[in-house]
Amino acid sequence: MPPPSITKLKRTSVSQPRLLNPTFSSSSPLHTQFPYHSSTLSQNHNPEPPGTLSPSIILSRKPSNGSHSSYYAHLLESCISRKAINPGKQLHAHLCQMGLGFNSYLATKLVNLYSVCRSLRDAHLLFDKIPKGNLFLWNVLIRGYAWNGPYEVAISLFHQMLGYGLMPDRYTFPFVLKACSALSAIEEGRKIHERVIQTRCETDVYVGAALIDMYAKCGCPGSARQVFDKIEVRDAVLWNSMLAAYSQNGHPDESLTLCGEMALTDLRPTEATFVTVISASADMAALPPGKELHGFSLRLGFESNDRVKTALVDMYAKTGSVKVARTLFEQLGEKRVVSWNAMITGYAMHGHASEALNLFEEMKRETLPDHITFVGVLGACSHGGLLNEGQTFFELMVREYHIDPTVQHYTCMIDLLGHCGRFGEAYSLIMQMKVMPDSGVWGALLNSCKMHGEIDLGELALEKLIELEPEDSGNYVILSNMYAKAGKWEGVARLRKLMIDKGIKKSIACSWIEVKNKIHAFLSGDTSHPNSDAIYAELKRLGGLMTEAGYVPGTGSVFHDVEEDEKANMVCCHSERLAIAFGLISTQPGTRLLITKNLRVCEDCHIAIKFISKITEREVTVRDVNRYHHFKDGICSCGDYW
């Protein structure tokens, strides 16, 4: 039996309610009031997923004894839960014919349907025709804009709603706060928080989680914590939002501490708990808590959870256990973009360029790479000094994948060109960027200038960097070292005065290592550690062995007023080397050493560490906690002239 066409349905005798006619966007090829003729149905190239009610089935079940609001409500609910826009529009047209269009209960459901189907234009046009006394109607439309944008409209609707004398409820707040989060609109967010308190909604966990998220996205974890502390009956999601608030704002340690408190409650951690807190431990380059969380997640039955597993891949890769990361990566049931990206960037940040690029080739066959994939791929090229490959991938990204380069992609390219001494091309690339060059870009250029002694361009880069981040000492230090290397002491003096005038203090390089659950931190030339004597003795011993093995202390930093033998001494007391020496004398042979550094490891130390690994047959990983594409901190504290 052929499906009944909507045009054949009986028209009611009631005068046509124009009020709620469905609207069709101008992009739709269908401009008639009844768009779904049987001919158009058969041309449907986008069939609904299996299990969806087809439009013909909906209408063939039309009750013969007249129309009941609850019957259509049921059908509309069915469309809403399936996000089935086309049958919904057909129902809408049908309701207009039936004369049920002015039923504001059903109309509200239609607004809801358009809203969940992201047809905000249709939702809003219909909304405009419905009496405004119904809070639910407002909530539905605000939700639509909070989920899909423009977010400003959600906030403006909220104010219009207040203008109508309606009181927002515990459903309204999460929606409008989500819009504030998306816009980082802190002033608006705080005003809404006041209203939450007036309305006595502050103990609702949904409202609370939305407030915490709003404060987190606006960079105010302290305010988020105040909200969290005021709520007495908490659920897992509330904890999760607070954990995320800390890790999104550079406090992974607080996130881990809070996770410990959560573990003391009766609440069962969820997938989001583990994803958040495992990534927090990756951010602080802390393997032991990460491993503990791994075990904890296994005990709670998250072994085959791919999202948790992806977070673990990222954590193990970042903390230097690239092989463990790869093993887990291979265990993934479904490899999504995030998983590929975590593994590729993991290889890139440890300088495993060929592994990163091989994996990228494999990925291309299975998944569509995104802009973050290319940050990893270009980062791998930049680490490996692969200029030609980098340029090819950059082209590929733009031409084949139609991805607009971001500052991060440009930073990698500037670094690549600069390190190869192609300053003309590097500079013209900066000039032709469609995005504003940030401190990462100029920092990459400055760092390259330092390597090649390009003083003029270096001065220009510093000028830009001073505009962008006047408080950052690292930039001055790099240029100062360049002046010193070229013997331009008046430049050194000028910069020193500039820093004093601006009241800028130099940041100090610090490295740390965890041994037996205790963190041991070292500054450059530090002698305050209880085992200091033994550490320096070990460094001296290593120095001898390294020289025998062919190591030549770095010529990267030149000391103008220090005797030759003292130079060698100073090169040996960079903070990462102190941490390594301590690790060597206080752990079992064969244990892997993970050192974390707050500034970028200098090239000389990188070479030295390779020698140390070889001589001692120990796996040594030094990880800087700065993002690897931030080249502005490419300094070692001993090489400075202050």
Partner DNA sequence: ATAGGGTTAG
209: contact with DNA by CB under 7 A: yes
Rounded (10°) angle between helices 371-384 and 353-366? 150
Q: Which stretch binds DNA (CB under 7 A): 4-12, 163-171, 477-485, 569-577?
A: 163-171
Taking CB under 7 A as the criterion, the residue among 125, 205, 499, 508 binding DNA is: 205
d(C-alpha 193, C-alpha 148), whole Å = 22
Residue 337 Cβ, how far from DNA at the closest point, in Å?
A: 5
- Rule CB under 7 A: choose which of 87, 88, 144, 174 binds DNA: 174
H/E stretch holding 623: strand 620-624
Q: Is 599 in the site for DNA (CB under 7 A)?
A: no
- Which of 241, 321, 481, 557 touches DNA (CB under 7 A)? 241
Residue 85 has a CB neighbour count (10 Å cut-off) of: 17
C-alpha–C-alpha distance, residues 433 and 452, integer Å: 24
**Residue 72 binds to DNA (criterion: CB under 7 A):** no
Single residue of 122, 188, 213, 604 touching DNA by CB under 7 A: 213
CB-based contact 111:103 (threshold 8 Å): no
Residue with tokens 């009496």: 131
User: Any contact of residue 321 with DNA (CB under 7 A)?
Assistant: no
**Closer by beta carbon to DNA, 236 or else 498:** 236
Q: Segment near DNA (CB under 7 A), from 60-68, 237-245, 290-298, 380-388?
A: 237-245
H/E element, 121: helix 120-127
Q: Using the CB atoms, write b or e for 219-232: b if 16+ within 10 Å.
A: ebbebbbebbeebe
| CB 243 within 8 Å of CB 224 | no
Number of Cβ within a 10 Å radius of residue 141: 27
Tell me which residues in 117-156 interact with DNA (CB under 7 A). 134-136, 139-140, 143
- Does the protein bind DNA through residue 577 (CB under 7 A)? no
Site string for DNA, 9-28 (x = CB under 7 A): --------------------
Please list every residue from 89 through 118 that binds DNA, using CB under 7 A.
105, 108-109, 112
Residue 300 contacts DNA per CB under 7 A: no
In Å, what is the CA distance from 87 to each residue of 53, 330, 421?
8, 42, 62
Q: Rounded to the nearest whole angstrom, what is the least distance from the CB of residue 598 to DNA in the complex?
A: 17
Which span sits near DNA by CB under 7 A: 294-302, 341-349, 443-451, 572-580?
341-349
Q: How far is the CB of 580 from DNA (least distance, A)?
A: 24
Q: Which of 21, 223, 249, 273 binds DNA (CB under 7 A)?
A: 273
Cα–Cα distance, 174 to 214 (Å, whole number): 9
Give the angle 580-451-430 at the CA atoms, nearest 5°: 120
Q: Please report where in the chains the tokens 């995104």 appear, as a residue.
A: 370
- By the 8 A CB rule, do 72 and 59 touch? no
Exactly one of 38, 406, 587, 626 binds DNA (CB under 7 A); that residue is 406
Is 575 among the residues that bind DNA (CB under 7 A)? no
Residue 372 CB, shortest distance to DNA, in Å, is 4
- How many of the chain's residues bind DNA (CB under 7 A)? 66
Based on the shown chain and the rule CB under 7 A, indicate whether residue 271 belongs to the binding site for DNA.
yes
- What is the dihedral angle through the alpha carbons of 607, 612, 617, 621, rounded to the nearest 10 degrees? -60
411 within 8 A of 440, measured Cβ to Cβ: yes
What's the rounded Cα separation, in Å, for the pair 449 and 421? 8
587 binds DNA (CB under 7 A): no
Rank residues 254 and 538 by Cβ distance to DNA and give the closer one.
Answer: 254
Q: Which of residues 621-640 bind DNA (CB under 7 A)?
A: 627, 629
Q: Closer to DNA at the Cβ: 214 or 573?
A: 214
Applying CB under 7 A, the span of 42-50, 334-342, 531-539, 591-599 interacting with DNA comes to 334-342
Q: Residue 387 interacts with DNA (CB under 7 A)?
A: no
Q: Select 185 or 216, whichever has its Cβ closest to DNA.
A: 216
Question: What DSSP designation does 9 have?
Answer: S
Contact call for residues 255 and 279 (beta carbons, < 8 A):
no
Binding of residue 311 to DNA (CB under 7 A): yes
Does residue 279 bind DNA (CB under 7 A)? Answer: yes
> Min. distance of Cβ 625 from DNA in angstroms?
12
Distances (CA, A) of 518 to 286, 287, 288, 293: 12, 13, 11, 18
Looking at the Cβ atoms of 141 and 457, the one nearer to DNA is 141
**What is the SS3 assignment for 341-389?**
HHHHHHHHHCCCHHHHHHHHHHHHHHCCCCHHHHHHHHHHHHHHCCHHH
Indicate the residue among 120 and 210 with the shorter CB distance to DNA. Answer: 210
How far is 182 from 351, CA to CA, in rounded Å? 35
Quote the least distance from Cβ 606 to DNA, whole Å.
20
Closer of 120 and 207 to DNA (Cβ): 207
- Least gap, CB of 607 to DNA (angstroms): 25
Q: What is the DSSP letter of 49?
A: P
Closest distance of CB 25 from DNA, Å: 23
Report the residue from 90, 223, 249, 345 that binds DNA according to the rule CB under 7 A: 345
Residue selected from 53, 85, 166, 337 as contacting DNA according to rule CB under 7 A? 337
Verify binding: residue 73, DNA, rule CB under 7 A: yes
Q: For residue 5, give the DSSP letter.
A: P
Query: Which tokens hold the place of 45?
Result: 């190239």
Q: CA-CA distance, 417 to 431, in Å (whole number)?
A: 14
CA distance 623 to 278: 17
Verify binding: residue 526, DNA, rule CB under 7 A.
Answer: no
353 counts as binding DNA under rule CB under 7 A: no
Nearest approach, Cβ of residue 244 and DNA (Å) = 4
Q: Please, what is the minimum distance in Å from the beta carbon of residue 60 to DNA?
A: 24
For residue 141, the minimal CB distance to DNA (Å) is: 11
Report d(CA 449, CA 493) in Å as an integer: 20
Q: Beta-carbon neighbour count of residue 561 at 10 Å?
A: 6
Instruction: Give the whole-angstrom CA distance, residue 156 versus residue 151.
Output: 9
User: Nearest distance from residue 121's CB to DNA, in Å?
Assistant: 20
The footprint of DNA (CB under 7 A) covers 73, 105, 108-109, 112, 134-136, 139-140, 143, 169-172, 174-175, 178, 181, 204-210, 213, 216, 235-238, 240-241, 244, 247-248, 270-273, 275-276, 279, 282-283, 307, 310-311, 314, 318, 337-338, 341-342, 345, 349, 370, 372, 375-376, 379, 406, 408, 627, 629
